[in-house]
């Protein structure tokens, strides 16, 4: 009996240490919602831009002001809706669990996510303005995957698998650049939603 109690106590100590060093209030519903938002954004971009213009190629192509503004608006709208959705669902989960959503672990997680995301975002914007639209699906997947790997040390370790999957999809997006928008939808939409459902189920 004493040995069993000792093992239980050690397990509780381990769980407490994990909670104190990792941000564990990530909501599975935030992953599902951001996945659906990404799918909607990609479908809208395809309808407005990619359906009528052959931009998914290996070289720079002229992009007119209307298509450029459409791409930027869809990208910005998708990003803002995804961030709002993730914050709302995560905040709701934190309130239910009586946890502080904005603690030191959350700050460390956000910092480690933002470094690759900002670098990738600036690079993608430069390439977009120079006409290299075909590189964007692959690069956004790769930098997002790197951000998840970078942040996985400060939250649920399972997020590393999603990061690796997105990096692999990003590399395939460069190999099959004409289909890169569909690979982007698979990574940011389908896999993100599946990951969210798994987290919610667990």
Identify the pLDDT of residue 123.
97
Find, among 90, 109, 200, the residue nearest to 147 by Cα.
Answer: 109
Identify the pLDDT of residue 21.
43
Identify the pLDDT of residue 52.
86
- Residue ranges of the chain whose pLDDT lies below 70: 1-26, 97, 100-103, 156, 202
* Residue position matching structure tokens 């790997």: 149
Collapsing DSSP to helix, strand or coil, 23 comes out as strand
Identify the pLDDT of residue 16.
45
Half-sphere exposure of 65 (CA within 13 A, CB side): 0
Identify the pLDDT of residue 37.
96
Q: What is the C-alpha end-to-end distance of the chain, expressed in Å?
A: 30
Identify the pLDDT of residue 18.
44
Collapsing DSSP to helix, strand or coil, 155 comes out as strand
* Residue position matching structure tokens 């720079």: 60
Identify the pLDDT of residue 187.
96
Strand partners, 155: 23
Domain spans of the chain, in order of start = 26-201
Identify the pLDDT of residue 67.
94
């Amino acid at each position: 009996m004493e040995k069993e109690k000792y093992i239980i106590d050690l397990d509780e100590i381990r769980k407490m240490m994990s909670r104190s060093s990792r941000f564990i209030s990530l909501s599975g519903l935030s992953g599902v919602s951001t996945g659906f938002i990404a799918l909607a954004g990609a479908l809208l971009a395809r309808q407005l831009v990619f359906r009528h213009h052959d931009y998914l190629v290996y070289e720079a192509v002229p992009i007119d002001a209307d298509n450029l503004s459409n791409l930027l608006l869809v990208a910005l709208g998708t990003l803002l809706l995804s961030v709002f959705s993730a914050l709302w669902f995560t905040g709701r989960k934190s309130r239910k669990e009586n946890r502080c959503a904005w603690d030191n672990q959350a700050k460390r997680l956000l910092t480690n996510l933002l470094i690759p995301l900002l670098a990738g975002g600036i690079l993608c914007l430069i390439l977009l303005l120079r006409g290299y639209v075909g590189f964007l699906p692959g690069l956004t997947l790769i930098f997002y995957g790197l951000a998840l790997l970078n942040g996985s040390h400060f939250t649920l370790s399972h997020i590393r698998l999603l990061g690796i999957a997105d990096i692999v999809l990003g590399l395939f997006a460069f190999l099959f650049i004409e289909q890169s928008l569909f690979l982007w939808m698979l990574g940011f939409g389908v896999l993100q939603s599946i990951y969210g459902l798994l987290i919610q189920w667990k």
